[in-house]
Amino acid sequence: MKKFNIKSPLGIFLIAVVPLVILLAYSGIRLDLTKEKRYTLSDSTVKVLESMKKPLTVDVYLEGDFPASFKQLQSETRFMLEEFRKINPKIDFKFIDPIKTKMSQDTLMAMGMQPSVLPDIKDGKISQITLFPYAVIKYDKRGVSIPLVVQQAGIDADQQLTRSIEGLEYSLVSNIKNIAADKRKKVGILVNQDELGPEEFHGFMQLAMENYDAGPVVPKNQTELTLEDLPLLKQMSALVIAKPRKAFTDNEKVILDQFIMNGGKTLWMIDAVNAEMDTLTRSQKVMPFPVDINMTDFFFNYGIRINPALVKDVKKFALLKLVTGEVGGNPQYTSLPWPYFPLGISENDNPITKNINPVKFEFPTSIDTLGGRKNIKTKVLFESSERTLLKQVPNYVDLKEIASVDSLGQMEKPSTPKIFAVALEGKFTSAYASRIERKGYPGFKSQSPENKMIVIADGDVGRNKMHKGEPLPMGIDRLTNQEFGNEQFLRNALDYLLDDSNLMALRNRNIEERLLDRNRITEEKANWQWLNLLLPLVVIGLLGGLFFWMRKRKFG
């Protein structure tokens, strides 16, 4: 009998490789060989999962008969949750088929889930499938429903699936972090400078209260922020200033400066020009004028300047629905381009703006980044297109301009792309570090720890419209029936400011699409079916013939 040689290729394979394969199979260890490391959890995710002290369950409503693309999302979600459970055994999950369990749509919608209606093509027949691609996270008598599919206009189904998978880890772990937090961070909404009213800011308050304790910050003396308000401000992790129309006093600026120096995050939505669409619609013509809130030197300290000139984008703009005629006594509406409502479209990989619908700005101005500020990084979030016009104010804005959006009017000139929103991060230096005002503030600080700030040159970016006295969802244009990304943009902005776990970086994860050629699949379908059917039979026949020949040669 021939001896087995362990130094032969077969011997090396059996001795070295097979035991390793068996070890990996039983230990559950997986090797991530993908270029983008799509199957490796980030360090931030691991820290969040390890910090959980109580059991957490995830109900995933991705079970049943649905298109193959959703099968891939189901598989990716299952894998992700299995990896979560390896890090923390207190995490459990199950996949639920709402049709099989006879859950009504009303029950699912009451849980915060919105249906997705998809076309299903089988054997040339088109039908519709209603799905609820959500995950419900439950922790310590609290629960939250999170969508597993990215809702973004202008992309096809394959892109939508890819972006949903890219954002899966962030979507799951960020919500786990929020629901499992023992104490929620506080977000203050400044109420003193004639900002947006409660009805106009209803949508923002709703999104802020999903993950944070949000509430108004009202000066005790009902006039201006003073040292008496410091105890309340110190409780706030972030302060939101939405469309202030009353000038800040010098004392208030010192209070805000020190709020920032002590680590407070700020979100600014600033109108440098007073222009209201409601007034323009009623009178057909309006004269915008500059608004001075006495903050030019304040923002200059951080290397930015907000300019009092309207930005018109004649390439990227929202539509305005107007009455353009009448038939049989019924008004006829037409949606026309309105360059004073430019769209913010993400053109970089910033986690705040990635994978969201275009953001609608209304009569925005522009931001100049001055540079030269030590320890401050400035990141542009949104800017206009290369076909931009600047309108100096005071100057008339007329609805008749809609007929020729790219023509130059009075006091207008072509311009380079203008910035609508920026994010600042780094160690900020106080504007009052060498000024006499510092002596009036107890415990004055000249420099902040690592801090963040977002400035938007539009006070209406966070305003929701009203209809019959009721607030509409933020970003919804009732007349044109368009949904803009304002809500998601501001939600991401808050999460960015208050992200102390570096989870926002997960929104920048990219997965390379490796798709099959659909045309070849259609043209060569029959060939590949025959190949899959016959090839195994041919291989078995050849192996059988080889075995028979070797047996006959040895024993014949």
What single string gives the DSSP state of each residue in 291-354?
A: ---S-HHHHHTTTEEEESEEEEESSSEEEEEEEEEEETTEEEEEEEEEEEEEEE---S--TTTT
CATH, residue 163 = 3.40.30.10
Q: What total number of domains does the chain contain?
A: 2
Same domain, 159 and 274: no
| Contacting residues for 83 by C-beta, under 8 A, at least 6 apart | 39, 41
Domain boundary among 131, 162, 180: 180
The owner of tokens 């381009």 is 337
Same domain, 68 and 109: yes
Predicted pLDDT of residue 14: 63
Domain boundary among 152, 180, 208: 180
548 occurs within a structural domain: no
| Contacting residues for 460 by C-beta, under 8 A, at least 6 apart | 243, 269, 271, 361, 362, 363
346 occurs within a structural domain: yes
541 occurs within a structural domain: no
> First CA to last CA across the chain, in angstroms?
18
pTM of the model: 0.83
Same domain, 415 and 452: yes
Same domain, 223 and 353: yes
Q: What is the dihedral of CA 536, 537, 541, 544, to 10 degrees?
A: 60
Same domain, 209 and 154: no
What is the rounded CA–CA span in Å between residue 177 and residue 183?
11
Domain boundary among 119, 153, 180: 180
369 occurs within a structural domain: yes
Same domain, 244 and 316: yes
What element of type H or E holds 54? none
Alpha-helical runs (H) found in 466-524: 486-497, 518-523
Q: Determine how β-strand 186-190 pairs with β-strand 238-242.
A: parallel
Note whether 512 and 36 are within 8 A (CB).
yes
Predicted pLDDT of residue 527: 85
81 occurs within a structural domain: yes
Predicted pLDDT of residue 1: 47
What is the rounded CA–CA span in Å between residue 238 and residue 259?
9
Strand ranges for 123-205 from DSSP E:
125-131, 134-139, 142-147, 186-190
Edge to edge, the sheet with strand 359-360 lists 317-327, 330-344, 359-360
Same domain, 104 and 220: no
Same domain, 234 and 117: no
Note whether 322 and 301 are within 8 A (CB).
no
486 occurs within a structural domain: yes
What is the rounded CA–CA span in Å between residue 52 and residue 70?
30
Residues paired with 307 in a beta bridge: 366
Same domain, 166 and 192: no
32 occurs within a structural domain: no
- Burial, 507: exposed, middle or buried (Cβ in 10 Å; 0-12, 13-18, 19+)? buried
What element of type H or E holds 233? helix 230-234
3 occurs within a structural domain: no
Same domain, 116 and 248: no
225-228: Cβ within 8 A, 24+ apart = 225/192, 225/251, 225/252, 225/255, 225/256, 226/251, 226/255, 227/255, 227/441, 227/442
Q: Among candidates 179, 39, 169, which has minimal Cα distance to 506?
A: 169
Segment-wise mean pLDDT, segments of 10 residues, the chain, 556 residues: 57 67 63 65 89 92 78 89 93 89 83 75 67 89 87 73 86 91 92 90 92 93 92 95 94 95 96 90 89 94 94 92 74 85 88 92 94 88 94 90 77 91 95 89 93 96 88 85 91 93 80 66 82 88 84 75
Note down the domain range covering 216: 186-508
- Burial, 340: exposed, middle or buried (Cβ in 10 Å; 0-12, 13-18, 19+)? buried
Same domain, 114 and 197: no
Same domain, 231 and 173: no
